[in-house]
Amino acid sequence: MRIEIPEFAVVAMIGATSSGKTTFAHKHFLSTEVLSSDFFRAMVCDDENNQNVSKDAFDLLYYAANKRLDRMKTTVIDATNLQPSARKQVIDLAHEQNVHAVAIVLNLPENELLKRNKERTERNVPERVVKKHCTDLKRCIKYLKKDGFRFVYVLNSQEEIDSVEIVRTKLWNDKKDEHGPFDIIGDVHGCYDELKMLLEKLGYIQKNGVFMHPYGRRAVFLGDLCDRGIKNIEVLQLVMDMVKSGNAIAVPGNHDVKLLKYLKGKTVQQTHGLDITVSQLESQSDDFKNEVREFLDGLVSHYVLDDGKLVISHAGIKEEYISRGSARVRDFCLYGETTGETDEYGLPVRLNWAADYRGRATVVYGHIPQTEVQAVNGTFCIDTGCVFGGSLTAFRYPEREYISVKALQQYYAPTKPLDEKQNDTDDILKLGDIDGKLYIQTRLMPSIMVHEKNSAAALEIMSRYAADPHWLIYLPPTMSPCQTSKLDDYLEYPEQAFEYYRNHGVKNVVCEKKHMGSRAVIVLCRDIQTAEKRFHITDDSRGIIYTRTGRHFFNDMKTESEVLDRLQAVLDKTNFWSDFQTDWVCLDTELMPWSEKAQELLERQYAPVGRAGRDGLSEAVKALQKLCQRENIQYEVSEITSGQNFSPFELLEEFQKKQTALEKYTDAYREYCWKVQSVNDLKIAPFHILAVEGQTFSNKPHIWHMEMIRKYCTGDIFIPTEYICVDTENETSVRHGIDWWINLTGNGGEGMVVKPEIFTSKYKGEVIQPAVKCRGREYLRIIYGPEYLLGANLERLKKRSLTGKRSLALKEFSLGMESLERFVHKEPLYRVHECVFGVLAFESEPVDPRL
């Protein structure tokens, strides 16, 4: 006997004691699919026969069942299920989980069961219990369908039981193996002419009277084919022909369901344009009407397509309903959900499910007419109100393009004007998006884990200090220095940076001058419309300059907007916008002077150390000089009472060295300070063109970035960055690189950043450091202290580990690139924010800040 059950279902075994339920279940299902009441009795009290613990045992069993069903895992409830209350629990579970319930009844003759019961050694129950079970079973069988079991299989003999073969069938809504490409078309409402125009615009041609696409594309209709418009019959005919010939897929809309009710002879109110369809149908043949009825009756409320990446339904679908089947799911797909309130037009207020949608599948739906396609969190409402005089829109998948034709006329007056927001498209973030331990999938690194303590720290920073998250499409990664040098008087030296890349298979590197300023990410839109449309910014700003932690760089908006104005002037002049075909740009830059952002640090730490050091050491040197000039000092007497002896001359020399170190230290920090009285005194050096509309540039070599910046982003306060190319395998070239660095840092420069020729480079399949810095000898005084080169200090400092820093640099780099990719691919805010948040979280990881 063949038993068909959906591949996702909750299955109740029903049968008297000793009927072989457990044996049956384990024969046909995975042992993990079977939840047996005996097992859970034993779990709570070590005795699987103890009926007194049934309540707790079933609590656990249903708890486990829910966890499985949440993950769409078929679950078998292995219990007698003879009491109505027990079966109701199964049905309630199925309802709650929007899954079909299946009953498999083992209905064996009473005498057989009594015999088995007697033979059982480990447990036998009183005969009356067996008899009672049999009576209960006989009584319940005929009610099972009515109880709510969608499929009921009754097996009446051991032979039948033994012959069973269980076949798991695909769910009705499962079209995962259909990969498109698709042209998904919104609510047609009898707009036949526009539909034809749209299909033609999409490249469909008529063959034997049926529309089809020469390249095998298929149309997808989102329902509401009829009502309100004037050519309902034609639309029905066209769609039915396309579906039947395999050129289209269709899901039903609420109007279609109402029409079906009418066709089935039920009384329905002929409102909202149904009257038009009905009157047009009257003149049609019964055959046609039957055809329409059968067609509509066969429609499934939502489909899951393309390996689960695309879901279609008329009114959208919540993530937890996808792939599931129940009246509740069907209703949602047809009508959506409402809050129970009505708006000023008397229309129901819709529940904003799209704002909370976090599924990975793209959901395309219609139902809510609006002037434009509404894209929220990976859901697309494409009903652009053709029948109300709007347009008919197709969503091309996988291209994700919108193709529309304007309505030829307004066929029906809308209750509420189309240009008014019908649905709140608000994309505010949820705590769940970034809470606790995170696993972030990126293109460069498969899965990046963020610890809970780090995300907790980032939550505070993001909430208290960061700018509007809509602007934050990228945070820069931390950068590791090179290994320490083997030379006696250098901590860092270019050789080790070149060596790193040479050892990681990179022949050509780019050395860029490291500007000693502060990191500043600039996002600039050409106009406030772009800011609103692309970044959902509504406060009339059209750009931002933010720090590496996502904070506004400038405390006053006036300076920010002046810098942005100047950048725009430069980009306008160089035709950046048209050459890059974009209305916005994101640049990675260094903003100078350092003192602009670090003033507080300078006044609290750097300058005081210089002041105290220079003065203090100068006094110490004076005192020691006086000591050395004195006669009769003894410092080699043998008898030592309290202190030890020391040589004043050596000490003087030592303190003089310290004095020089402090002078050099002071010179070092002064190099990066100047007075800023106006924007004119700022310098900004862009070094990456991170992204523009439609693309990131992480596939371009760094030389491209350098040259494009020189060409397009230079002028006014914007300066290019000096760089050279080095062949790490060529000794002369390496020497040249070292000399270049010596020259750069000898003049007080911070140092250089060495990057592989290609932005994202891999070695043996793994991402390597996107950049390694090599800092100047003098500059390092402000990192490791004025005296870092003296005495044994340098040797001690050379012992440093870069492992932690480098691992962070890779993770942050991968996340930064990922956030840009996601933004450029128009992924929802929460997807972009996740990566940005991840970078901030890693920044709370304690690593040596001097690296």
Partner 1 sequence: MLLTITMKGKNTENLGYLLHKNPCRPQLFDLSFGKAYVFYTEVSDTRTTAALLLELNPIDLARGKLGSKDGGLFDYVNDRPYVSSSFMSTAINRVFSTAMNGKCTKFPELAENDFDFETTVYNLPVKTQKDFVKDVFTPLGYEIKMRESVLDEKFTEWGESCYIDLTLCGNVKLSDMLNHLYVLIPVFDRQKHYYMNEDEMDKLLRHGEGWLAVHPLRNAIINRYFYKKKGYADKMIARLMENEAEETTVNEEISQKKISLNTQRMEAVKKTVLASGAESVLDIGCGDCKLTALLLHESQIKKITAADVSVSVLEKAKQRLNYDKMPLYLKNKLTLIQASLMYKDERFRGFDTACVIEVIEHMDLQRIPFFEKVLFGSAKPKTVILTTPNKEYNENYPTLEKGALRHSDHRFEWTRAEFQAWCEHICKEFNYTIEYQNIGETDEKYGSPTQMGVFKICV
Specify the residue, 403 or 609, whose C-beta has the smaller distance to partner 1. Answer: 609
Our CB check for partner 1 shows the closer of 285 and 634 to be 634
Sequence-ordered list of residues with C-beta below 8 angstroms from that of 652, at least 6 positions apart, any chain: 621, 624, 625, 627, 628
Which of 376, 673, 706, 734 is the binder for partner 1 (CB under 8 A)? Answer: 673
Shortest separation between residue 776's beta carbon and partner 1, angstroms: 16
Q: Which residues are within 8 A (CB) of 40 and not within 5 positions of it... i.e. 6 or more apart?
A: 57, 58, 60, 61, 64
Rg of the chain over Cα atoms, rounded to whole angstroms, equals 37
Among 786, 816, 828, 838, binds partner 1 (CB under 8 A): 786
Q: Cα separation of 696 and 283, whole Å? A: 58
Residues paired with 155 in a beta bridge: 106
Q: Which stretch binds partner 1 (CB under 8 A): 640-648, 691-699, 716-724, 750-758?
A: 640-648
Please select the residue that binds partner 1; options are 320, 460, 650, 681, rule is CB under 8 A. 460
How far apart CA 353 and CA 381 sit, in angstroms, is 12
Q: Are 334 and 315 in contact (CB under 8 A)?
A: yes
Contact 415, 347 (CB under 8 A): yes
Q: How far is the CB of 225 from partner 1 (least distance, A)?
A: 36
To partner 1, the closest distance from the beta carbon of 619 in angstroms equals 5
Q: What is the torsional sign of CA 85, 87, 89, 92?
A: negative
- The sign one gets for the Cα dihedral 45, 47, 48, 53 is negative
**Burial of 68: CB neighbours in 10 Å, binned 0-12, 13-18, 19+:** middle
Give dist(CA 321, CA 308) in Å, integer. 13
Position among 760, 761, 793, 807 found at the interface with partner 1 (CB under 8 A): 793
Q: Rule CB under 8 A: choose which of 103, 130, 392, 434 binds partner 1.
A: 434
- Looking at 632, 638, 732, 803, which residue binds partner 1 (CB under 8 A)? 632
The residue to which tokens 């952002």 are assigned: 597
Q: Which span (73-81, 462-470, 562-570, 582-590) binds partner 1, by CB under 8 A?
A: 462-470
Q: Indicate whether 43 belongs to the interface with partner 1 (CB under 8 A).
A: no
633 binds partner 1 per the rule CB under 8 A? yes
CB of 612 to partner 1, least distance (A): 4
Q: Which of residues 469-488 bind partner 1 (CB under 8 A)?
A: 469
User: Between residue 136 and residue 175, which ones bind partner 1 under the rule CB under 8 A?
Assistant: none
Strand 518-525 to 543-546 pairing: antiparallel
Which residue stretch of 58-66, 391-399, 463-471, 504-512 sits at the interface with partner 1 (rule: CB under 8 A)? 463-471
In contact, 585 and 531? CB cutoff 8 Å: no
Rounded Cα distance between 198 and 177, Å, is: 26
Q: Is 458 or 571 the residue whose CB approaches partner 1 more closely?
A: 458
Interaction mask 604-623, partner 1, x per CB under 8 A: -xxxxxxxxx-xxx-xx--x
User: Per rule CB under 8 A, is residue 785 in the interface with partner 1?
Assistant: yes
Q: Among residues 593, 648, 749, 816, which is the contact residue for partner 1, using CB under 8 A?
A: 648
Which of residues 32, 121, 271, 634 is near partner 1 by CB under 8 A?
634
Q: How far is CA 584 from CA 327, 547, 553, 568, 694, in A?
A: 46, 19, 19, 10, 10
Instruction: Identify the sign of the CA torsion 6, 12, 13, 14.
Output: negative
Q: Are strands 218-221 and 248-250 parallel, antiparallel or unpaired?
A: parallel
3-class secondary-structure state, position 648: helix
Q: Which residues contact 497 (CB under 8 A, 6 or more apart)?
A: 482, 509, 754, 772, 773, 774
Candidates 135-143, 144-152, 630-638, 707-715 — which segment interacts with partner 1 by CB under 8 A?
Answer: 630-638
CB 820 within 8 A of CB 586: yes
Q: Which stretch binds partner 1 (CB under 8 A): 10-18, 89-97, 195-203, 465-473?
A: 465-473
DSSP state of 77: E
Peptide bond into 181 cis (omega under 30): yes
Of 670, 683, 736, 798, which one interacts with partner 1 (CB under 8 A)?
A: 670
Measured at the CA of 25, the angle between CA 22 and CA 30, to 5 degrees, comes to 125
Q: In which element (H, E) is residue 353 found?
A: helix 353-356
Residue from 457, 528, 703, 724 in contact with partner 1 (CB under 8 A):
457
In 3D, which of 229, 366, 226, 369 has the Cα closest to residue 295?
Answer: 226
Under rule CB under 8 A, residue 464 binds partner 1: yes
For residue 723, give both structure tokens.
Answer: 């760089």
Phi, psi of 447 (to 5 degrees): -145, 120
Cβ nearer to partner 1, comparing 211 with 788: 788
Interface segment toward partner 1; rule CB under 8 A; list 97-105, 271-279, 467-475, 804-812: 467-475
Stretch that binds partner 1, among 454-462, 528-536, 700-708, 771-779 (CB under 8 A): 454-462
Among 44, 141, 197, 651, binds partner 1 (CB under 8 A): 651
Of the candidate spans 253-261, 371-379, 415-423, 667-675, the one that interacts with partner 1 by CB under 8 A turns out to be 667-675
Q: Which position among 143, 172, 345, 635 is part of the footprint of partner 1 (CB under 8 A)?
A: 635
Binding-site member from 160, 241, 319, 433 for partner 1 (CB under 8 A): 433
Size, binding site for partner 1 by CB under 8 A: 70
Identify which of residues 282 and 540 has a Cβ nearer to partner 1 in the complex. Answer: 540
Options 145, 735, 825, 850; binder of partner 1; rule CB under 8 A? 850
Q: Which stretch binds partner 1 (CB under 8 A): 283-291, 366-374, 505-513, 628-636?
A: 628-636
- For strands 772-775 and 480-481, give the pairing: parallel
Would you give the binding string for partner 1 spanning residues 532-571, x where CB under 8 A is met?
Answer: -------x------------x-------------------
Single residue of 114, 319, 797, 798 touching partner 1 by CB under 8 A: 797
**Interface residues with partner 1 (CB under 8 A)?**
426, 428-434, 453, 456-457, 459-460, 462-464, 467-469, 539, 552, 602-603, 605-613, 615-617, 619-620, 623-624, 626-627, 630, 632-635, 637, 642-646, 648, 651, 662, 666, 670, 673, 675, 782-788, 793, 796-797, 850
